[in-house]
Every structure is written in C-alpha cells, then in structure tokens.
Amino acid sequence: MKVGIVGYGAYIPRYRIRVEDVARVWGHDAESIKSGLGILEKSVPSLDEDTATLAVEAARNALKRAKDVKPSEIGAVYVGSESHPYAVKPTAATVAEALGIVPNTTAADLEFACKAATAGIQACMGLVKGGYIKYGMSVGADTAQSAPGDALEYTASAGAAAYIIGGENLVAEIEDTFSYTQDVPDFWRREGAPYPRHGGRFTGEPAYFEHVIKASKGLMEKLGTNVSDYRYAVFHMPNGKFPLRAAKILGFTTEQVQPSLVVEKIGNTYSGSSLLGLAAVLDIAKAGERILLTSYGSGAGSDSFSIRVTDLIEERRNLAPSVRYYIERKEYIDYALYARSKCLYRG
Amino acid sequence: MSHIAPPAHWRRAKERYRLLGSKCESCGSTFFPPTKVCPKCRRKGKIVQTEFSGKGKIYSYTIIHSAPKMFEKYTPYILALVELEEGPKVMSQIVDCKPEEVKIGLNVEVCFRKLFEQDEEGVISYGFKFRPADDSWKGL
C-alpha cells in the first residue's frame, strides 16, 4: 500500500520586518548580518494571530487541495510547534474543531523544536499504513520567540504548513522515511521562560549538520538512492546559509536546493520551516520528480523523507494559494511596531 | 474586566470557528447567529445547520479608537457589518486592512483569528474575522 501527501497548505502572516530595522536598534551592522545569515527580512504575526490561527489557515488550504477528503474522514490531527498558545490545552483540538474534523478523531500537540510536524507526518503514515485511519493531518506552525537583541531576533518568524496524509489520491507519494536523534543541548527553553537560549556556534556542527547529514545519508542508503535521483532537496532553514552548506556536504547542487529556500524572505518559521520549503517545491514540481526532505529540530533530531510527485499535482496545486503568493503578500513594519506586537502578544 | 466563564466561550465556539449558522429548508432564509425557529415559517419551518462560505461584502463599518479593555490593543480597528453572500449580516473586525482602505461594498473573506483573551492566564477565544478578498493568488 502506498502512503503520501493528499493535500498541502501554507500560510504566512502579512507583516515583515527588515534586517536593517532590527540592526539599527541594536547598533549591529545590517550588511554583515544579511550576508552572514542569508536573510533579508522576516515575517511577523498580527496582534490577533498565534500558532493556532496560523495552523488553521494552513490546514484550511491543505483541505482545499485534498478536495476528495471530507473533514470527518481525518482520523488524526497533530500540530507540531514550540509556541503552542497554551502550556496545557491542545492547539490540535482547536484546529480539528475549526475544520469540522471533530469529534471522531484523535489529536495531539507535538514538540520537538523545529521538527515536530515531520514527526507528526511519520505518525500519520504509520496510522494510515496500519489501517487505523483513512487520513491524518500534521501541521507545523510557530510564532517563534527571540530575546530582544539576540541573534535569533533576525530570523525567528511566523508561518505554518499543513499536510494531509493518506493512501489514495496522492499528489506525492512518500517512498520512505528515516530519522536520526540524539540528546544535544544546542537550543532550549525552560518551562515558564519567555525566550529560548542557544549554544551559539555549537548549534552548527554537532547539532544541525550532524543530524541533517546523517538522516539524509541514512535515508538514501536505506533506499539505495543518491543525490542525482532527486530533482529537489529541502532542508530545515534556521538561516539562509545552513541548508546550502548541508546540501554541498551531501553533494546536492545549489539548483536542487534553491526553490525551497524561502528563509531569505520570511525568516525561520521553526516548525513550519522545512515544510514550507517542501510546499514551495510542490508548487512547481512536475509529475515523477523526486524530492528529498530533511527536517531538523534542536535537541536534536532530523526526519528525512523520499517523496515522488504524482500526476495529480497539476490539478491540485492551484486549488489554494501558493507559498510564493504568501511571500509576496506583505506589508513592512518598523521596529517600534514590531516591539509593540511582540510585547503585547506575549500578554 | 468582566469575567467570561469557560462555558460562554465553549457555547459559541462552533459558530465562531466555522461560521456555522442555520437555514430554514421551508423558505430558504439563512440566519447568523443560528436560530432554532424560523421567524417567518414558525412551526412550519425546518431549521438545519449550515456552514457559510465566508465570502461577503462590507455593509457598513466604523473605526474604533476607544475600545473596551479586551480590544484596546487593537485600536484603531475596523468594526464592520459584513453581509454574507448567503444573506445574513454579521459583526466582525476587518483585519489585514488599514482604516483608510476600508469602504462600504468592499469584498471580504473569512479568516481565523484570536477574538479576545480574558487576561494572560485566561481562556483565549478564537473565531472568524474578515479580511479584504484577494483572488490574486489564482494567477501565482
């Protein structure tokens, strides 16, 4: 039995702040940050947007593309995020309610830094293949937090991507998945702390690269594939530089990675990041093309997927807004408005 | 700030989340918020639940500068009567739109937002708001 993506949906809030506007406030050199991080601007949620609202918007877009799927047929809803609005009360139940998936469904919130939603996709794959559910949904959504003045303030942004997983009417088949997980203290937020902390340069070699490279290699070894079998490669995008370097280490060309690099214009959407990259690729990919997707979550782990696009993509992708539409739909705000929104939406 | 008990959030959640109203199958009238009895057909009416498309246009609006405590952080904001394509008029904030951009007759579409929250530790109420309709994605 095949398993794969029946529908996908993206959502990115309308507001943006430029690197220059953040750098000016803290006396940083904007040009060196832009070239160092590979980021020009990032998305900022409205005052009335949070992880639950972003997740619902993306999930509604996914349902539009999965036009044969009735909400009542979705037997599992997972929302991966590190900025769930409640410490206790599931975002997934809000998403299920807003889409009319309730009440005969299971739902849960997942947390694994930026990769919780790819873990959700794996859970859905298992439930679908095991015959327990017909369809499952996994949403990655975040309104990422960053301490004022911290390097993360240039990248931590907001966005969401939703995937409906099933066994028929696939726009893309998931051929296999492989994961790589270890306990690594590269990035964390303690209970009750408003902002995360990170290990600076330590977030690179032993964390991001170790896991992204090993998971991607593990998947290709398992399947007997190599980089030339994939038309596209999608990696988690904490900044604009890391995914390109990971691609180079693995032997992928810049051309294979470039179409998924949404980070330059919207920042790191955390749980939405690699899945928005995949959505951007599904927006343009042709039937038969293969995609390698590898997420990364601090703490640390990566889930890698081998995906093959089907004929159905052509008629389905235009049923909901593309990632490009959301990237281009924007309005700039300055740091004062940004600070007001950050301050207020934390309460 | 007045206290909003959890049942008050919960009771209206379905209609607010999904724009669920009611429809009389006898005369075709539509209602939001949902009604249990059709005021035209009375006992001959047959009321069923219906989910509205979320498309509509601004029937009238005002700009709120001085808001109740729970909405203070959104000022100035647009509060409008939106006439849904199915007929009912609903009151809602208009978002992703500047006060100077709003006008009567503007086509709008539903979106999902936070409506209000009790305080930092209270229940968050979510539901529909409307934003200017934008079909430009169909070409992208």
- Domains A4-171+314-345 and A174-311 in one fold: yes
Closest CB from B17, B95, B120 relative to A98: B17
CATH of the domain at B122: 2.40.50
Q: Do A97 and B17 touch (CB under 8 A)?
A: yes
Q: Looking at the DSSP assignment, which residues form a beta bridge with residue B80?
A: B61, B92
> Which of the following is catalytic: A84, A114, A124, A198?
A114
* Confidence category of residue A200, pLDDT binned at 50, 70, 90: confident
pLDDT at B102 over 80: yes
Tell me the backbone φ, ψ of residue B79, rounded to 5 degrees.
-115, 125
> What confidence tier does B3 reach under pLDDT thresholds 50, 70, 90?
low
| pLDDT at res. B121 | 87
- Please give the average per-residue pLDDT across A72-86, as a whole number: 97
Catalytic site residue A343?
A: no
pLDDT at A80: 98
Nearest C-alpha in A relative to B137: A321
Q: Which of B12, B111, B112 to mutate to test the interface with A (most CBs of A within 10 A)?
A: B112
Please state the rounded mean pLDDT for residues A241-246: 98
Helices (H), chain A: 19-26, 30-37, 51-65, 91-98, 116-129, 210-223, 242-250, 254-257, 263-266, 273-282, 313-316, 323-328, 335-345
Which CA distances in Å does B73 have to A80, B68, B93, B139? 28, 10, 13, 36
How far apart, in whole angstroms, are the C-alpha atoms of residue B131 and residue A73? Answer: 29
A175 pLDDT above the threshold of 90: yes
Summarize pLDDT for B58-90 with one digit per residue, the tens: 999 999 999 998 899 899 999 999 999 999 999
Average model confidence (pLDDT) across chain A = 96
Q: Does A192 touch chain B (CB under 8 A)?
A: no
pLDDT digit string, tens, across residues A138-173: 999 999 999 999 999 999 999 999 999 999 999 999
Q: In the 8-state DSSP scheme, what is residue A277? A: H
Structural domain count of chain B: 1
Buried-state track B39-51, b at ≥16 Cβ within 10 A, e below 16: eeeeeebebeebe
Residue A90 has pLDDT above 70, yes or no: yes
Query: Does residue B76 lie in a domain region?
Result: yes
Query: Are residues A50 and B114, on separate chains, in Cβ contact within 8 Å?
Result: yes
- Residue A227 CA to residue A215 CA, distance in Å, equals 14
Task: Categorize the per-residue pLDDT at A340 as very low, low, confident or very high, splitting at 50, 70 and 90.
Answer: confident
- In a 10 Å sphere around its CB, with 0-12 CB exposed, 13-18 middle and 19+ buried, how is residue B119 labelled? exposed
Tell whether B32 is covered by a domain.
Answer: no
Domain boundaries, chain A: 4-171+314-345, 174-311
Contact A13, A158 (CB under 8 A): yes
pLDDT, tens digit, for every residue of B107-135?
Answer: 999 999 999 987 888 999 999 999 999 99
Amino acid sitting at position A299 = G
pLDDT at residue A344 in the model: 52
Name which of B9, B10, B14, B17 to mutate to probe chain A: the one with the most chain A Cβ atoms within 10 A of its Cβ.
Answer: B17
CB nearest to A322's CB, from B18, B114, B140: B140
Q: How many CA atoms lie within 13 A of A163 on its CB side?
A: 33
> Residue A343's pLDDT is what?
66
For residue A203 the two structure tokens come to: 């977030």
Question: Any chain A CB within 8 A of the CB of B120?
Answer: yes
Q: Please report the pLDDT score of residue B2 as a whole number.
A: 52
For A302-326, how does the pLDDT look when each residue is reduced to its tens digit (9 = 90+)?
A: 999 999 999 999 999 999 999 999 9
In a domain, B6, yes or no: no
* Chain A residues near residue B99 by CB distance under 8 angstroms: none
Residue B33 included in any domain = no
Q: Residue B27 domain-assigned?
A: no
CATH code at A4-171+314-345: 3.40.47.10
Catalytic, A114? Answer yes
Whether A124 sits among the annotated catalytic residues: the reply is no
Q: Is the link from the previous residue into B76 a cis peptide, with omega within 30 of 0?
A: yes
The residue-averaged pLDDT of A14-34 equals 97
Q: At residue B140, does pLDDT exceed 80?
A: no
Q: Domain of residue B59: give its range.
A: 54-132
Note whether A52 and A80 are within 8 A (CB).
no
Q: A174-311 has which CATH code?
A: 3.40.47.10
Q: Under 8 Å CB-to-CB from B60, ≥6 apart: which residues?
A: B80, B81, B104
Return the percentage of chain A with pLDDT > 70, whole number. Answer: 99
**What's the distance, CA A339 to chain centroid?**
24
Residues 34-93 of A with CB under 8 A from B: 46-50, 52-53, 56-57, 60, 85-86
Q: Do B113 and A97 touch (CB under 8 A)?
A: no
ipTM over 0.90: yes
Pairing of strands A158-166, A135-143: antiparallel
pLDDT, position B47? 97
Contact B67/A at CB under 8 A: no
The pLDDT of A219-238, averaged and rounded, is 98
A284 contacts on B by Cβ (under 8 Å): none
Q: Give the gap in angstroms from C-alpha A209 to the nearest C-alpha of chain B.
A: 34
Token output for A330: 């924007």
Predicted confidence at residue A347, as pLDDT, reads 38
A53 interaction partners in chain B (CB closer than 8 Å): 112-114, 126
pLDDT band at B1 (very low <50, low <70, confident <90, very high): very low
What value does the mean pLDDT take over residues A93-99? Answer: 98
Find the catalytic residue in A41, A82, A153, A210: A82
Q: What is the mean pLDDT of residues B47-56?
A: 97
